[in-house]
Structure 1
Amino acid sequence: MNVSWTKHRFSGGLLALDTTNTVVLRGDPARSFDRFEDTAEIARFAAAAEGFRSAELGGRGLSFQFSDAAVRRVIVLREAADRMLRAAVLSGGIETIHLPDFLRACAACLDESAERVGADGMPFGDPSLPIRFEAALAVSALSLLAVDAWKKVRICPNCNWLFVDRSRNSSRLWCDMSVCGNRNKAKRHYQRGKLAGGEAVHV
């Protein structure tokens, strides 16, 4: 069954975080699942990311040439980035134990690429040509090593996704208020209703 790559699935705020979030409900073995288990979804995800991550990419298109090696590179970087960033959120700092795997994964995704990134107006290189998805993923992931970048990463308490908190006072709690925020509000309302009903029974 094809995934519907909607705006909500790009709630991470950066391509690298959106990619880590393709594993749903991390930390919950009973319910967790991988949207890239069908590896054909990687190309469909990349196509959707062109639109939802256009600002980050500087309007550059993404291409994904399917191969077992390309799939492995994407998955290995996804998992290394998730481990490093999730630990950083919980500990308050980048732990060097995670850096070798992360940097090797980024290097593998950039291997044989010939890009010039970071120029004004061209953060991911020449927008007139597409960039390989795994190379763009590596550039996005590496950008999170900046002090002001990784310090803004949060973990959604509802779905466990990673996201960038760009709120003015750094108080954003949910990856997506319209989904996880509303689900939590509905849950609290339900629990208050049960509590009120229980109290009424005992009166």
Structure 2
Amino acid sequence: MTFRWTAHRFAGGALALDVANSVVLRADAAKSVDRFAVSEQIIAFAEASARLGAERDRFPVLLAPEAQQRPVFLELREAIDDYFRATIIRGGDDDGRLARLLFACGTALRAFPRAESLGNATAHSALSLLAAQTRERLRICGNCGWLFIDRSKNRSRVWCDMAVCGNRRKASRHYHRKKEALE
């Protein structure tokens, strides 16, 4: 299956979050789709991230991992999602998850020594998210479940992307209100 890597796909606000968000509908095993299940999609993601990602100035060129490095990269993705999602939901650190994330970052930095490598850049991005002021702004989208950084002034953002998820949620609420009014 192929995907178009549009600006919406990079709504996380950090490369590490965009990589974690590459699993669509993660919470629903029956509907979940791994965009990186096909190696070509990782290559396309790396190219698109250098153009569309929030950290494109920091990581202007990204090279996809080689086939033998892919398991290290995917473990990094899962550790990022697991740690930050749990931190947002529970509101605090879980030493086991943090240890897994740090181990995955260290493994990735050894496996991907080149700075322009997607694995290296993702590990650096994840480590930068550990700063308290950034971590306090992490959210889970109320519509799609993606991780994102709330950069709004009053820290009240609910959706990863207002143009997509916000509009979908508002349209859904409007539909249900109209339907209830007719009944």
What's the TM-score once normalised by structure 2's chain length? Answer: 0.94
Percentage of pairs with the same residue: 45
Q: Is the 8 Å Cα contact of residues 14 and 56 (structure 1) preserved in structure 2?
A: no
Q: Identify the residue that residue 153 of structure 2 maps to in structure 1.
A: 168
Q: Give, as a single letter, the amino acid of the residue that structure 1 aligns with 2:78.
A: E
Partner of 2:121: 136
| TM superposition outliers: structure 1 runs of 4+ over 2 Å | 53-60, 112-115
CA RMSD of aligned residues (A): 1.6
2-side partners of 1:86 and 1:112: how far apart? 25
- Summarize the alignment of residues 9-24 of structure 1 with structure 2, pairs less than 5 Å apart: 9-24=9-24
Could you report, residue by residue, the CA deviation over 1:146-201 in whole angstroms, capped at 9, with x for unpaired residues?
A: 11111111001111100000000000000011111001111011101111101xxx
What's the CA shift string for 1:86-138, capped at 9, x where partnerless?
110011112112022111110111006557xxxxxxxxxxxxxx611100000
Q: What SS class does the counterpart of residue 28 from structure 2 fall into?
A: coil
For 2:168, the aligned partner's letter is R
Tell me the secondary structure at the aligned position of residue 62 of structure 1: coil
Query: Shift of residue 30 of structure 1?
Result: 2.0
Secondary structure of residue in 2 paired with 1:63: coil
Q: Distance in 2 between matches of 1:195 and 1:171?
A: 29
Asked if residue 33 in structure 1 is aligned to residue 33 in structure 2, the reply is yes
How many residue pairs match? The answer is 183
Structure 1: give runs of 5+ residues left out of the alignment: 116-129, 199-203
1:107 match:
106
Aligned-pair distance for 1:53? 2.5
What is the rounded CA distance, in whole Å, between the counterparts of 1:153 and 1:196 in structure 2? 37
Seen in structure 2, the aligned counterparts of structure 1 residues 188 and 34 have a Cα distance that, compared at 3 Å, is same
**Does residue 90 in structure 1 map to residue 79 in structure 2?**
no
Displacement of 1:144: 0.9
Specify the SS of the correspondent of 2:37: coil
The aligned residue for residue 123 of structure 1 is: none
Distance 1:12 1:6, change over 3 A: same
Distance 1:62 1:12 in 2: 17
1:50 aligns to 2:50 (yes or no): yes
User: Is residue 2 of structure 1 aligned with residue 2 of structure 2?
Assistant: yes
Where is the helix percentage greater, Structure 1 or Structure 2? 2
Q: Compared with structure 1, are the counterparts of its residues 183 and 40 closer, same or farther at alpha carbon in structure 2 (3 Å cutoff)?
A: same
TM-score, length-normalised on structure 1?
A: 0.85
- Counterpart of 2:172? 187
Which structure would you say has the larger Rg? 1
Question: Secondary structure at 1:26's aligned position in 2?
Answer: coil
CA distance in 2, matches of 1:104, 1:59: 22
**For the Cα contact (< 8 Å) 1:12–1:175, is it kept in 2?**
yes
Between 167-176 and 22-31, the greater mean CA deviation after superposition? 22-31
Q: What whole-Å deviation, never above 9, does each CA across 1:19-75 have from its counterpart, x for those lacking one?
A: 00000111112211111111221111001000123645435311124222x211111
